Amino acid sequence: MTAPTKPSPDNPAAPAPGSDRGAGHTPSGTALHSPVIGWFDEHARDLPWRRPEAGAWGVMVSEFMLQQTPVNRVLPVYEQWLVRWPRPADLAAEAPGEAVRAWGRLGYPRRALRLHGAAAAITERHGGDVPSDHAQLLALPGIGEYTAAAVASFAHGRRHAVLDTNVRRVFARAVTGVRYPPNATTAAERRLARALLPEEEATAARWAAASMELGALVCTARNEACHRCPIAAQCAWRLAGKPEHEGPPRRGQTYAGTDRQVRGRLLAVLREAHTPVPQSALDRVWHEPVQRARALDGLVSDGLVEPLADGRYRLPLS
């Protein structure tokens, strides 16, 4: 007996649960490309890292910043960053602590250290130019699969599957027929993303940017705006009657009271001080001593804070 087929990234051709559609109704990549890219041509936001003058370095900086922070918070920090450090070598010439200081309140500040480390490697290995080759990008410190693919695609027009949270949600709904993708990216999602890539390199790069923008503006996590969606007529999840999420509970985004909040407060003190600060200045920002010490230890072990022999602390100089 053949087991019933359930749509999954492994088997995107299967009908969605609750649907009486045949396998042939699941949208193919080619049927999606043209409407999504056409929509993007008309509705894409004019963001500074999408302008030609941003260059590959601008794209790389934006990708580091946007990974866990919304566009509106990234914009002012991005603009200041590029004015101060218009090339990777400009950033590499400064202490890593300056990158952490300029990162401001974007959150997850290890990204600032990783960006600084990547800038130093680009300066040493590639004469200060961000490489266009995916393997060379991936070989840089602090750059993972996502960022390498995004920079190669958005900055250099290469053909790569760029799988961020927005793209994963669009593919989950439109192709797989479920409300949400898994909590962490799976090999099956990567296979699906590669299968959906247009053959032609320039079209593949447009598709990567367009499918991401569709997830950011129309097919959002909370409110999918299907009436404005260019692929509504083909969307597997919509056509199946939008079945409820069946997977494990989705991860929450709690912040208040967490070690992340304490770390943020401790770092804010150090960012604003241009000389080393005593322990007492750090003790004032959080009432609970065990959690405070744990957060400070974490910042030190992550290389974001440097303890000095005299008991004071500062942002890292090297």
CA 263 to chain CA centroid, nearest Å: 21
- Determine contact, residues 241/276, Cβ cutoff 8 Å: no
Q: How far is the CB of 27 from ligand SF4 (least distance, A)?
A: 10
42 tagged catalytic: no
In the complex with ligand SF4, the residue whose CB is nearer, 250 or 284, is 250
What phi, psi does 11 have (nearest 5°)?
-135, 65
Separation of alpha carbons 37 and 209, rounded Å: 9
Q: Which two tokens stand for residue 132?
A: 């266009």
What phi, psi does 102 have (nearest 5°)?
-70, -20
Q: How far is the CB of 182 from ligand SF4 (least distance, A)?
A: 17
Separation of alpha carbons 11 and 80, rounded Å: 45
Q: How far is the CB of 231 from ligand SF4 (least distance, A)?
A: 6
What phi, psi does 175 have (nearest 5°)?
-105, -50
Separation of alpha carbons 71 and 252, rounded Å: 20
Q: How far is the CB of 187 from ligand SF4 (least distance, A)?
A: 23
Tokens 């995916």, residue? 134
In the complex with ligand SF4, the residue whose CB is nearer, 35 or 131, is 35
Beta carbons within 8 Å of 170's beta carbon, 6+ residues apart: 211, 214, 215, 219
In the complex with ligand SF4, the residue whose CB is nearer, 152 or 229, is 229
The residues facing 277 across adjacent strands are: 313
- Catalytic one of 53, 63, 145, 213: 63
Residue 224, SS3 per DSSP: strand
- Determine contact, residues 214/221, Cβ cutoff 8 Å: no
Q: Which residues bind ligand SF4 (CB under 6 A)?
A: 170, 173-174, 218-219, 224-226, 229, 231-232, 235, 237-238
Q: How far is the CB of 188 from ligand SF4 (least distance, A)?
A: 19
- Rg value, the chain, Cα: 22
Q: How far is the CB of 242 from ligand SF4 (least distance, A)?
A: 7
Q: Which two tokens stand for residue 302?
A: 């992550």
Separation of alpha carbons 271 and 314, rounded Å: 8
Our CA angle for 230, 233, 236, nearest 5°, is 105
Q: Which two tokens stand for residue 234?
A: 């083909």
Q: What's at 286, amino acid-wise?
A: W
Q: How far is the CB of 123 from ligand SF4 (least distance, A)?
A: 42
Catalytic residues: 63
